[in-house]
Structure 1
Amino acid sequence: MGRRTRTYRGAVGLFLAGGVLLTGCSGGSTNDTSSAERGLRAAGPAPAAPGGGAAADVRRPTEGAEGTDGPKEPAAPDYLSTFALDVDTASYGYARRTLADGRLPGPETVRPEEFVNSFRQGYHRPEGNGFTVSVDGARAGAEGGDWSLLRVGLATRAAPTSAERPPAALTFVVDISGSMASSDRLGLVKTSLGILTDELRDDDAVSLVTFSDEAKTVLPMTRLGGHRGKIHDAVDSMEPAASTNVGAGVRRGYEEAVDGHRKGANNRVVLLSDALANTGETDAKSILERIDSARREYGITLFGVGVGSDYGDAFMEQLTNKGDGHTTYIADEEQARKVFVDQLPAHLELTARDAKAQVAFDPKTVEKFKLIGYEDRKVADDDFRDDSVDGGEIGPGHTVTALYAVRLRDGASGHVATATVRWLDPKTRAAHEETGSVETGAIDGKLWGGAGARLQVAAVAAYFADNLRGGKLPGAPGLGELATRADELARSTEDDSVAKLATAIGQADRLKGGRSDSGANAGEGEMD
Structure 2
Amino acid sequence: MKKIYLVSSSLILMALMSGCGEKMVQSHSETKAMAYEGVSEAVMMPEPMEYRGGNIVADVMYYPPIQMPSVAVVAPNTESYKHNEQNKFIEVSSSPLSTFSTDVDTASYSNVRRMLDANSLPPKDAVRTEEFVNYFSYNYKEPTTNEPFFINLKVDDALWNKKHKLIQIGLQSKKANIAKLPPSNLVFLLDVSGSMNDENKLPLLKKSLKLLVNQLRAEDKVSIVVYAGSSGLVLDRAKGSEKEKIINALDKLEAGGSTAGGEGIRLAYEIAKKSFIKNGNNRVILATDGDFNVGQSSESELIELIEEKKKSGVYLSILGFGMGNYKDDKVEALADKGNGNYAYIDNLLEAKKVLVTQMSGTLYTVAKDVKVQVEFNPQKVSSYRLLGYENRKMANEDFNDDKKDAGEVGMGHSVTALYEVVLNDGTNSSKVDKLKYQTAVVNPSDELATVKIRYKEPKADSSRLMSRVVSFQNSDISDVDSKFIQSVVGFSMILRNVEEKGDLTYNKVLSLAKASKGSDDEGYRAEFIKMIENAMLSK
Q: What is the TM-score with the length of structure 2 in the denominator? A: 0.77
- What is the aligned counterpart of 1:11 among 57, 62, 85? 85
State whether structure 2 residue 152 is matched by structure 1 residue 130.
no
| Match of residue 18 from structure 1 | none
Which one-letter code corresponds to 1:462 in the other structure? Answer: V
User: Shift of the alpha carbon at 1:375?
Assistant: 1.0
Mean Cα deviation higher: 475-484 or 172-181: 475-484
How far apart in 2 are the matches of 1:335 and 1:141?
29
State whether structure 2 residue 247 is matched by structure 1 residue 214.
no
Q: 3-state SS of the aligned residue for 1:335?
A: helix
User: Shift of the alpha carbon at 1:155?
Assistant: 1.2
After TM superposition, list the pairs within 5 Å mapping 1:103-114 onto structure 2. Answer: 103-114=120-131
How far apart in 2 are the matches of 1:442 and 1:217?
53
| Match of residue 482 from structure 2 | 455
Contact 2:453 2:466 in 1 (8 A): yes
How far apart in 2 are the matches of 1:98 and 1:231?
32
Mean Cα deviation higher: 243-252 or 114-123: 243-252
State whether structure 2 residue 264 is matched by structure 1 residue 249.
yes
After TM superposition, list the pairs within 5 Å mapping 1:395-434 onto structure 2. Answer: 395-410=410-425, 414-434=446-466
**CA 1:281 to 1:293, structure 2 compared with 1: closer, same or farther past 3 Å?**
closer
How far apart in 2 are the matches of 1:463 and 1:318?
26
- What is the aligned counterpart of 2:168 among 144, 151, 156? 151
| Match of residue 85 from structure 1 | 102
- What is the aligned counterpart of 1:115 among 108, 120, 132? 132
Contact 1:212 1:243 in 2 (8 A): yes
State whether structure 2 residue 195 is matched by structure 1 residue 179.
yes
User: Shift of the alpha carbon at 1:289?
Assistant: 2.2
**CA 1:253 to 1:442, structure 2 compared with 1: closer, same or farther past 3 Å?**
closer
How far apart in 2 are the matches of 1:124 and 1:476?
34
Which one-letter code corresponds to 1:140 in the other structure? Answer: A
User: Shift of the alpha carbon at 1:295?
Assistant: 1.8
Contact 1:137 1:148 in 2 (8 A): yes
User: Shift of the alpha carbon at 1:389?
Assistant: 0.4
Contact 2:373 2:399 in 1 (8 A): yes
| Match of residue 53 from structure 1 | none
- What is the aligned counterpart of 1:259 among 268, 271, 274? 274
| Match of residue 4 from structure 2 | none
Q: 3-state SS of the aligned residue for 1:414?
A: coil
| Match of residue 385 from structure 1 | 400
**Alignment deviations for residues 259-281 of structure 1 (CA, whole Å, 9 cap, x no partner):** 22121210000011111221122
User: Shift of the alpha carbon at 1:309?
Assistant: 2.3
Q: 3-state SS of the aligned residue for 2:448?
A: strand
Q: 3-state SS of the aligned residue for 1:148?
A: strand
Q: Which has the larger radius of gyration?
A: 2
| Match of residue 470 from structure 2 | 438
User: Shift of the alpha carbon at 1:478?
Assistant: 0.6
User: Shift of the alpha carbon at 1:107?
Assistant: 0.9
After TM superposition, list the pairs within 5 Å mapping 1:472-511 onto structure 2. Answer: 472-475=499-502, 477-490=504-517, 493=520, 496-511=523-538
Contact 1:150 1:405 in 2 (8 A): yes
Contact 1:356 1:422 in 2 (8 A): yes
| Match of residue 313 from structure 1 | 328
User: Shift of the alpha carbon at 1:440?
Assistant: 3.7
| Match of residue 160 from structure 1 | 177
Which one-letter code corresponds to 2:510 in the other structure? Answer: A
**CA 1:141 to 1:183, structure 2 compared with 1: closer, same or farther past 3 Å?**
closer
Which one-letter code corresponds to 1:101 in the other structure? Answer: A
RMSD between aligned alpha carbons? 2.2
Q: 3-state SS of the aligned residue for 1:487?
A: helix
User: Shift of the alpha carbon at 1:137?
Assistant: 2.1
Contact 2:155 2:472 in 1 (8 A): no
User: Shift of the alpha carbon at 1:246?
Assistant: 2.0
Identical counterparts, % of pairs: 35
How far apart in 2 are the matches of 1:355 and 1:402?
13
**Alignment deviations for residues 305-355 of structure 1 (CA, whole Å, 9 cap, x no partner):** 111123211111100101111101111111112211111111221111111
- What is the aligned counterpart of 2:316 among 297, 302, 312? 302
Which one-letter code corresponds to 1:317 in the other structure? Answer: E
After TM superposition, list the pairs within 5 Å mapping 1:333-372 onto structure 2. Answer: 333-372=348-387
| Match of residue 469 from structure 1 | 496
**CA 1:138 to 1:430, structure 2 compared with 1: closer, same or farther past 3 Å?**
same
Which one-letter code corresponds to 2:166 in the other structure? Answer: L
Mean Cα deviation higher: 242-251 or 281-290: 281-290
User: Shift of the alpha carbon at 1:244?
Assistant: 2.1
How far apart in 1 are the matches of 2:459 and 2:372?
20
Q: Structure 1: state its 5+ residue gaps.
A: 1-8, 16-56, 60-75, 444-449, 513-528
User: Shift of the alpha carbon at 1:293?
Assistant: 4.1
**Structure with more relative contact order (C-alpha pairs < 8 Å, separation 6 or more):** 1
Contact 1:172 1:207 in 2 (8 A): yes
Which one-letter code corresponds to 1:422 in the other structure? Answer: R
**Alignment deviations for residues 127-152 of structure 1 (CA, whole Å, 9 cap, x no partner):** 4442111221211147x353111111
Which one-letter code corresponds to 1:133 in the other structure? Answer: I
User: Shift of the alpha carbon at 1:476?
Assistant: 5.5
User: Shift of the alpha carbon at 1:245?
Assistant: 2.1
Contact 1:356 1:421 in 2 (8 A): yes
How far apart in 1 are the matches of 2:223 and 2:521?
39
Mean Cα deviation higher: 452-461 or 485-494: 485-494
**Alignment deviations for residues 136-181 of structure 1 (CA, whole Å, 9 cap, x no partner):** 1211147x353111111111111222x2211100000111111211
Q: 3-state SS of the aligned residue for 2:264?
A: helix
Q: 3-state SS of the aligned residue for 2:373?
A: strand
Runs of 4+ in structure 1 deviating by more than 4 angstroms, as ranges, are 491-495
Contact 1:129 1:352 in 2 (8 A): no
User: Shift of the alpha carbon at 1:222?
Assistant: 2.0
How far apart in 2 are the matches of 1:459 and 1:213?
46
**CA 1:123 to 1:278, structure 2 compared with 1: closer, same or farther past 3 Å?**
same
**Alignment deviations for residues 364-393 of structure 1 (CA, whole Å, 9 cap, x no partner):** 111100101101111100110100001111
User: Shift of the alpha carbon at 1:242?
Assistant: 1.5
Contact 1:13 1:471 in 2 (8 A): no
Q: 3-state SS of the aligned residue for 2:512?
A: helix
Contact 1:317 1:327 in 2 (8 A): yes
User: Shift of the alpha carbon at 1:494?
Assistant: 5.4
Which one-letter code corresponds to 2:294 in the other structure? Answer: T
How far apart in 2 are the matches of 1:436 and 1:160?
27
Q: 3-state SS of the aligned residue for 1:146?
A: strand
Contact 1:175 1:272 in 2 (8 A): yes
How far apart in 2 are the matches of 1:330 and 1:154?
25
Q: What is the TM-score with the length of structure 1 in the denominator? A: 0.79
Q: Structure 2: state its 5+ residue gaps.
A: 1-82, 428-444
State whether structure 2 residue 293 is matched by structure 1 residue 278.
yes
Count the aligned residue pairs: 437
